[in-house]
Structure 1
């Protein structure tokens, strides 16, 4: 069947179920992901041109499948390489480039082999499931930016605990902020992998949407820079009883003996990324590169605006879960956040859901500020 995205039209397999059809993977739900990718690579090109005058030209769609990412990159003026180990996918990529009168290189090879051999300004990893088998090669291949999608949110957030430990060499915990847990476990793994090659990987844009995590990493070479990035890793100690949590920087965890609020046992997650999940100036650039021809233009702009306003704290709360636990009725989110701010705490909405928020207050301070409970 034919699908229109942005300014290109591609042929994709009939979808028996969401994202699955024939032998070549295509997920229509990830159109927002792909629209933001186009805006992000435009933003990288603009940023680098302004800062040092160097061109950003080469783009690798490392696990291309239908090739829609690579085709859209080519349509935006990038020297695009589309790579897949599956022969049917390779043929589909060639058809989709030709169908849009675009030039691009299509490789029937293992993506890891290609990335070990060649350098690209931007490397895009969007595999089915975990991206970890490709990350070592991708970090050494990418010059300006590495974009990564992880669709295995259950292992990342701790719902499939053993799988998460195996894939990401970290301890994930299943909490009410499960999407953010997944994003920060992924980022922690990427940062630690990059550091092995004296590369500092820092997120310029990260979002968790529709059961996947997507991040865009700025890359800086040098042992000192890599050490600085490692310094933003750490742990989250979480109480499942009262929902108290605290973050601790460092590669060695020192969890409290008990929850300081209710005395219950604390669970520890990590190592994970505790730093900022995005850069505000880059979000603004990406937002400026979204055009009305994108199918998710309005959704993308709203997402980026919400991300720009999010506090740089490592976890978020769900208002409805808190008020239900306290046996109280939920109030309007705007009033709830205003109450936190009036009590002297910072607070913001998050992109993880309509009732989610971030704040500098701990769980007892949240209750005191919003319910008048001392």
Structure 2
């Protein structure tokens, strides 16, 4: 998965340093204006914690919060769990939510209060370790947007969130298997670095969160999920009870993948039982998991999210396009890359619309992915794809 580790990144309280509270830049997002630190080189140094690259993420968060009011009976309280500048919490407050912004860094807390006051908005600002706060109090919506992996906060977050848990993960290299050992440690799963690395990251994250929730007899249902640039973002509806938690665990399983011919399959279950060899070419298979194999969207909810994107958002056009592509995307747990297939076939790539049309004409389902120009999902295997594309 593509990483932007060398560019500007959203930083949690642990990345702020005392004495670096030099606020001299104002930023407008949606209907609010916030103050943030300005540095000579964006993304360089310890004090950066506002990330303009994540504006799409935050615009979609506002649209999700609007849709959540229509889905959940009680949707009033919102926790910005790792607040930093407080931009998420301030924007939620502007939407009428009863907000709590938490950060353990005093400079961040001061900035959160400043940004609420600047916009004439009310909100509680807490200077504390957010895990302690989440273990003590519950909120209708918990928004977890830390620096790196969200797993150190996951246990407290799934217990604190009543209806909806929003999670961002920026440690994309461990999630997709590029940093294998780190991925295993963080997510208690085996990630594999494949050509569908973005999908791998999404499903490793969801699998870990599903297992975390199940420990407390809670079930997750992903209602909106996307892998954009250097992060994965998911919104999870939560339900209580051992029965629904068991059903959620039934969505976990493994993917078996052949690096030689690109054949792959998946199976449900917490214990992997891969084929002895690739049935297509006889080579060794790699296994990834346990990971989430179920749907990563609720299409009805996703359509509502798209309807709640407004023209006042800085990324409105991009956000609408993203929700449309997400809604059209198949739920298969892997994807293919036409360019990689064409290279194996020793021929040039064709226009994606023509490529997908050939698959559909052969009786297969096919869709683009939301994160790549030449990547696609289909219910066909590699032999079925080959036959569909090369049938005159």
* 1:1-374 → structure 2 map (5 Å cutoff): 1-17=25-41, 19=43, 22-48=46-72, 54-372=73-391
Structure 2 distance, partners of 1:346, 1:44, is 31
Structure 1 distance, partners of 2:177, 2:345, is 25
- Secondary structure (helix, strand or coil) at the match of 2:66 reads helix
The alignment's TM-score, normalised by the length of structure 1, stands at: 0.97
Structure 1 distance, partners of 2:58, 2:155, is 23
**1:253: Cα distance to partner?**
0.5
Contact 1:115 1:138 in 2 (8 A): yes
**1:368: Cα distance to partner?**
1.2
**1:90: Cα distance to partner?**
0.7
From the superposition, tell whether residues 18 and 273 of structure 1 become closer, same or farther in structure 2 (CA, over 3 Å).
farther
2:20 matched residue in structure 1:
none
**1:88: Cα distance to partner?**
1.0
Contact 2:81 2:143 in 1 (8 A): yes
**What residue ranges of structure 2 are gaps of 5+ in the alignment?**
1-24
- Secondary structure (helix, strand or coil) at the match of 1:128 reads coil
**1:25: Cα distance to partner?**
1.1
- Secondary structure (helix, strand or coil) at the match of 1:207 reads strand
Tell me the matched-pair count. 368
Structure 1 distance, partners of 2:330, 2:337, is 15
Question: In the TM superposition, what whole-angstrom CA distance separates every residue of 1:212-245 from its partner, at most 9, and x where no partner exists?
Answer: 0000000000000000000000000011111111
**1:17: Cα distance to partner?**
4.9
From the superposition, tell whether residues 155 and 80 of structure 1 become closer, same or farther in structure 2 (CA, over 3 Å).
same
**1:18: Cα distance to partner?**
5.0
Q: Runs in 1 of length 4+ with deviation above 6 angstroms? A: none
**1:55: Cα distance to partner?**
3.3
- The Cα RMSD (Å) is 1.1
**1:16: Cα distance to partner?**
4.9
Question: In the TM superposition, what whole-angstrom CA distance separates every residue of 1:307-332 from its partner, at most 9, and x where no partner exists?
Answer: 10111111111111111121111111
Structure 1 distance, partners of 2:391, 2:382, is 13
Structure 2 distance, partners of 1:221, 1:366, is 42
- Secondary structure (helix, strand or coil) at the match of 2:178 reads coil
**What residue ranges of structure 1 are gaps of 5+ in the alignment?**
49-53
**1:14: Cα distance to partner?**
1.5
**1:23: Cα distance to partner?**
2.5
From the superposition, tell whether residues 36 and 251 of structure 1 become closer, same or farther in structure 2 (CA, over 3 Å).
same
- Secondary structure (helix, strand or coil) at the match of 1:202 reads strand
- Secondary structure (helix, strand or coil) at the match of 2:37 reads coil
**1:19: Cα distance to partner?**
4.6
Contact 1:24 1:66 in 2 (8 A): no
170-179 or 321-330, larger mean C-alpha shift: 321-330
